[in-house]
Structure 1
Amino acid sequence: MEVLRHLKDFMKENKWQYIVGVIVLIIVDTLQLITPRIIGNVVDSIGSGTISNGQVLYYALLIMIIACFIAFFRYMWRIKIIGSSRVLEFWMRSKIFKHLEGLSKNFFNYRKTGDLMAHATNDIQAVRMAFGPGVIMLTDSIFLTIATIGVMSTSISPTLTLLALIPLPILAIIVTFLGQKIQKRYKLVQESFSNMSDRTQESFTGIRVIKSYVQEEEELLRFSNASEEYVFHNMKLVRIFGFMFPMIGFIAAISFLVALYIGGNMVIEGRISLGELVAFITYLGMLTWPMMAIGWVINVIQRGLASLKRINEILDAKPEVVDKKGVLPIENLNELAMHISIKNLSFKYPKSETYALRNINLDIKPGETLAIVGKTGSGKSTLASLFLRNYNIEEGEISIGGVNVEKIPIKTLRKATGYVPQEAFLFSTTISQNIAFSDPNLSFEKIENAAKTASVYDDIMSFPQKFQTIVGEKGVTLSGGQKQRVSISRALIKDPSILILDDCLSAVDTKTEEAILEHLQDVMKDRTSIIISHRISAIKNADEIIFMEDGEIVERGKHIELLRLGGRYSDLYKKQLLEEKLEEEV
């Protein structure tokens, strides 16, 4: 089946686990067929008075021995089949996580976190159920039904068997029809669960904003609406089960009535013995489980298929940015002269018709610092994203040492680049582990030096746990400036060949900014640097400054040259000087 295409590797590795498990399950079902026949013989012997106390004990022991074998083999098939389904759960979760890590940044711009979480939890659990209990119930339904009917018709009465099983075709038609409904409604249940998960995750993440704007009631209403939608779709699914399982039980009851009435008459007429009728009723009772299992099988498998289709949508997604054919075997960016050249670069974001960058041309020599300044939305961060190859370059090119970045392995490029984004993201672990994120084996001395260079060392030492302080989710226990400086430390400790600071000093005061830049001067001497900032004080010492507006470079030069030009850069500088004076007066 096409829907199982992503499970081929797993099934190839674990097929013998399932084969052995199914064989053992069939052995258990076969042993279960012996007991009713023994009970029938005992009943006939008691009725005819031809059985002794010793024979009763013998039959009792025989039934107990069979029960012990059934128990042992039942344990075996649980280990093989249920155990394999648990391995599948682990395998799929790892596969999805690895695949998501390999997807391009643009993928996450259009997929909600709650939806991805639902794939990694509920959907995988549904697939596990299909490949665990689903396989068991399917085997029971097929083998136990065929074997039981075969024994009933050959050893007791084919006529009674045929009459008692007349309701089965009706059951098959009902289950087939309802199975299609189950799959459609379960898909809606999973989608509504994703929406509810996303709403919950978003609310918890933004709880501080919610509280500061006193929007608790409104958020509760939004969550309630999402929860009600989930309950609504669940109830539509429950209504099908509410009809299906009682219907299966009702049809099973009809079979018992037929067996009792017709079988009773056959005993009276002497066509079958009382023991055979007891055995027949017992076999018919054994058939009730496979009949019930048909409903469960349809339910579990349809749910599993619906979830697998949702998972396939994720696994079918391809990363937009990958190493293309002809990529050079460059393992270290230092093999190239760190001369960055950008020629005729224009860029539009996927699904957008508007250019974010237009005709960008830049030349950054080794060891030089390029500064980019401009209003919000002018294209500063977009340029940094393209350099890191977060998106494909369709028009123009970026090259390092004369080599197009598309010819450089993505892993090599990103390893050699120290990037500090606008929004500092810290993991829910210690400050030390956040700084040493690029290499957990880095010495504590290097961690301390990186913190000192980023002017965050004194802040860290003021905490009770110092470098072992847990920063909380997304670094919530730190101030905005502290988070930014820890992020700078994380980039510096890599000892990168290229350093990109994307407006990462916006949350620190001017005095702290000056201290950081002073420490960074020594660091940036030996590497090519790109500083993006709104503050001119952060970039005035750069070798070249460009002022961007609407995705274009409108002014370029050194700080003094741009001031003499008297254009946009000069106006921005004067405004910022005025703001600083007003702050000092206050």
Structure 2
Amino acid sequence: MKEEGSKIKFSPPKDKENLLSYIMKYHRQFLITAISGIFFNSAIVLGPIFQGKLLDAAASSANVKGIIKAGFEFVGVTLAFQIARFFKRYFVRDMANRMSGDMRVGIMESILYKDLSILEKQKIGDMMSTTIGDVDIVVEAVRKTITELWDTWVLMAAYWIALMYYDRKITSIATIPIPLVIVLTQLMKKTVHSHSKEARKATSKTTTQIRKMISEVNILRLYGREEAEIGRLEKRLSKQANKNVTVNILKNGLAPVYSALASIGIIIVIFLGGNKVVDRSWTIGTFTAYIAMFIALATRTTTAAKVFNIQQGAKASWDRVLGLMDNEKPMFFNKIDSLKPRDIYVENLSFKYPNNDEYAIEDISFKVSSGMIVGITGSVGSGKSALALALTGLYDYEGKILLDNVNLNDIDYEQNLATITYMGHNPFLFSDTLKNNITWNDKNDEKLDKVLTIASLKQDIESFENGIDIQVGEKGVKVSGGQKQRIALARALYKDASIVILDDPFSAVDINTEDKIIKNLRENIDDRIIFIFSHRLDVFKYTDMVLVLDKGKIVQKGSHDELISVDGIYSKIIDSQQFLGDESIEK
């Protein structure tokens, strides 16, 4: 993490899977916390001592000066260790806040650069719950552990030494129950850890359900699924509540037992210390100081027990964080020029989705050249989207995808990113301006104007109140479906890649606009290769070649005119579309 003025830039340490490395990164804050914490918890014992002296002065002093002097001494000592307490708390919380930022950046780096085949097996709700909730639990446990390192162990040592100074016999007898509390908490470690893990899993499932309900609220309303989904959420919340109650009982339910054990020592102190007051070995002030310190020591014992339990709950959360975080250094890519392949050879290509054991496409082969627009169609489930994803090179596949004579798998990842652009059939827009959704804050007005023309967006932009700076909303909720598709198309073209993969880019666009866009693509193709996956065949009048898929295989190949003149799936799709009223295609 770097600081530029008041701006903080977060970044995880090199060994980001080691919790200690986060503490070492902020060694300055840790050292200040340590020094002020040791001073505070060593000096705090002076509070009861000087309070006792003030009581004795008030009871026996012959004049007001003695009481005033004792009062100033008490206030001065208290002020000194309270200032140290402020620095201790400020810097440990500052360290905790920075650690949480670093951990979240580390998780997001791992997610963004993780193999997509692995990533798609993860549930979004689980990842959100871990990135937000589990990180908070881990960082809070670290903060409390560091705090209690001074506030409990140093303080207990300071109190114990002071108590031994007052009376070794009473201290030795009264502190016997304290080790029993520590042993009891150690015996509960495994139980607390396992139940904490179950509670975090239940929280993740609830988060997943809430996310699904919020993101799909329009679908739930249209199908009248509100009550059913609320019922499902209630079940998950109930399970989450039961798991959390169990964890809270384990963490806090034994507090009365800890307090009861500690109270035995207080009874011993009152009995033996009271006798010393009676036989005038101790003054009232001495007895008050001793019992105040012993009560503080006993209280910190129960606090130490709670910290042990918090650590076990945090260990379960840290396991979940590590499940998302890779210790490999993420790849940050420089912007480089796209490859310019003259030909693409696809040989015996097979592909299956990460969560499926069956092949979506199998043994597909074809060749295309630069300057071509290739149409790919087929019935629902024929493998169109699978082929589109395979051609991106971002997923594992079998067979070969050769750019000239180089296998796509052998190309550097950053070169792949520069060479291939992709628009999915369900394009996502970010909650930002229309312009930034296309350019990613890049500034090239000439290129922007060109892609807006190709995507037929200029007229729409003129109708918006804020023009190209209109906020499109999360997932593009403030623009129409057709506008959303065309914005995503402009974004794909703005990348200026040599291979353009468009998966169902015109499903929400009217026929006339679709016709304009495909003509614009035809006129501006240059030396690119454009793949258009679509079930609307009118667009294929402008393509150089059409591939027809069925059950994951290519069953027809040729130009639009060639395919409509022979009996086959392509001709049947046209017949069915004409039957449904689409007269834009003539056979």
Q: CA deviation at 1:316?
A: 4.1
Give me the whole-angstrom Cα distance separating, in 2, the residues matched to 1:309 and 1:221: 31
Which amino acid in the other structure matches residue 148 of structure 2? M
Give me the whole-angstrom Cα distance separating, in 1, the residues matched to 2:91 and 2:148: 14
Give me the whole-angstrom Cα distance separating, in 2, the residues matched to 1:540 and 1:104: 38
Q: CA deviation at 1:284?
A: 0.6
User: Match for residue 27 of structure 1?
Assistant: 39
User: Match for residue 392 of structure 1?
Assistant: 396
Q: CA deviation at 1:322?
A: 9.2
Give me the whole-angstrom Cα distance separating, in 2, the residues matched to 1:516 and 1:580: 22
| Residues 168-567 of structure 1: pairs in structure 2 closer than 5 A | 168-316=178-326, 331-334=336-339, 336-350=340-354, 352-393=356-397, 395-437=398-440, 439-443=441-445, 446-567=447-568
Which amino acid in the other structure matches residue 29 of structure 2? Q
Give me the whole-angstrom Cα distance separating, in 2, the residues matched to 1:251 and 1:9: 37
Give me the whole-angstrom Cα distance separating, in 1, the residues matched to 2:265 and 2:278: 20
- Partner secondary structure for residue 539 of structure 1: helix
Give me the whole-angstrom Cα distance separating, in 2, the residues matched to 1:543 and 1:83: 62
Give me the whole-angstrom Cα distance separating, in 2, the residues matched to 1:176 and 1:240: 12
Instruction: Please tell me whether the aligned partners of residues 333 and 497 of structure 1 are also in contact (alpha carbons under 8 angstroms).
Output: yes
Taking a change above 3 Å as real, the CA distance of residues 295 and 31 of structure 1, as seen in their structure-2 partners, is same
User: Match for residue 576 of structure 2?
Assistant: 575
Instruction: Please tell me whether the aligned partners of residues 96 and 140 of structure 2 are also in contact (alpha carbons under 8 angstroms).
Output: yes
Report the number of matched residues: 571
Match of 1:119 among 124, 127, 130: 130
Q: CA deviation at 1:317?
A: 9.0
Give me the whole-angstrom Cα distance separating, in 1, the residues matched to 2:101 and 2:355: 35
Instruction: Please tell me whether the aligned partners of residues 16 and 106 of structure 2 are also in contact (alpha carbons under 8 angstroms).
Output: no
Instruction: Please tell me whether the aligned partners of residues 540 and 559 of structure 1 are also in contact (alpha carbons under 8 angstroms).
Output: yes
Q: CA deviation at 1:31?
A: 0.9
TM-score (norm 2): 0.90
Give me the whole-angstrom Cα distance separating, in 1, the residues matched to 2:467 and 2:495: 22
Taking a change above 3 Å as real, the CA distance of residues 502 and 318 of structure 1, as seen in their structure-2 partners, is farther
Match of 1:88 among 81, 84, 99: 99
Q: Are 2:81 and 1:70 equivalent residues in the alignment?
A: yes
Percent identity, please: 26
Give me the whole-angstrom Cα distance separating, in 2, the residues matched to 1:117 and 1:581: 45
User: Aligned-pair RMSD on alpha carbons?
Assistant: 2.7
- Partner secondary structure for residue 376 of structure 1: coil
| Residues 52-71 of structure 1: pairs in structure 2 closer than 5 A | 52-71=63-82
Residues 528-571 of structure 1 deviation map (CA, whole Å, 9 limit, x = unaligned): 11111112211233222111112111111122222333222222
- Partner secondary structure for residue 281 of structure 1: helix
Residues 403-453 of structure 1 deviation map (CA, whole Å, 9 limit, x = unaligned): 11122122222223232111121111222221223x43232x543432221
Q: CA deviation at 1:91?
A: 0.8
Q: CA deviation at 1:273?
A: 4.5
Identify the range of structure 1 (264-273 vs 541-550) with the bigger mean alpha-carbon deviation.
264-273
Residues 461-491 of structure 1 deviation map (CA, whole Å, 9 limit, x = unaligned): 2233332222222112222222111111111
Which amino acid in the other structure matches residue 220 of structure 1? I
Give me the whole-angstrom Cα distance separating, in 1, the residues matched to 2:314 and 2:503: 45
Give me the whole-angstrom Cα distance separating, in 2, the residues matched to 1:241 and 1:114: 26
Which amino acid in the other structure matches residue 48 of structure 2? P
Give me the whole-angstrom Cα distance separating, in 2, the residues matched to 1:196 and 1:173: 35
- Partner secondary structure for residue 524 of structure 1: coil
| Structure 1, gaps ≥5 residues long | 324-328
Identify the range of structure 1 (310-319 vs 100-109) with the bigger mean alpha-carbon deviation.
310-319
Q: CA deviation at 1:259?
A: 0.6
- Partner secondary structure for residue 136 of structure 2: helix
Instruction: Please tell me whether the aligned partners of residues 450 and 493 of structure 1 are also in contact (alpha carbons under 8 angstroms).
Output: yes
Which amino acid in the other structure matches residue 416 of structure 1? T
- Partner secondary structure for residue 546 of structure 1: strand
Identify the range of structure 1 (269-278 vs 101-110) with the bigger mean alpha-carbon deviation.
269-278
Give me the whole-angstrom Cα distance separating, in 2, the residues matched to 1:362 and 1:330: 30
Q: CA deviation at 1:173?
A: 2.8
Taking a change above 3 Å as real, the CA distance of residues 96 and 535 of structure 1, as seen in their structure-2 partners, is same
Which amino acid in the other structure matches residue 532 of structure 1? F
Q: CA deviation at 1:582?
A: 7.0
Give me the whole-angstrom Cα distance separating, in 2, the residues matched to 1:392 and 1:275: 78
Q: CA deviation at 1:152?
A: 0.9
Which amino acid in the other structure matches residue 537 of structure 2? I
Instruction: Please tell me whether the aligned partners of residues 342 and 404 of structure 2 are also in contact (alpha carbons under 8 angstroms).
Output: yes
Which amino acid in the other structure matches residue 491 of structure 1? A
User: Match for residue 326 of structure 1?
Assistant: none
Residues 367-394 of structure 1 deviation map (CA, whole Å, 9 limit, x = unaligned): 122221111222222222122122123x
- Partner secondary structure for residue 580 of structure 1: coil
Instruction: Please tell me whether the aligned partners of residues 417 and 498 of structure 1 are also in contact (alpha carbons under 8 angstroms).
Output: yes
Give me the whole-angstrom Cα distance separating, in 2, the residues matched to 1:43 and 1:358: 90
Q: CA deviation at 1:4?
A: 8.2
Give me the whole-angstrom Cα distance separating, in 1, the residues matched to 2:204 and 2:347: 44
Taking a change above 3 Å as real, the CA distance of residues 463 and 74 of structure 1, as seen in their structure-2 partners, is same
User: Match for residue 6 of structure 2?
Assistant: none
Which amino acid in the other structure matches residue 65 of structure 2? G
Taking a change above 3 Å as real, the CA distance of residues 488 and 456 of structure 1, as seen in their structure-2 partners, is same
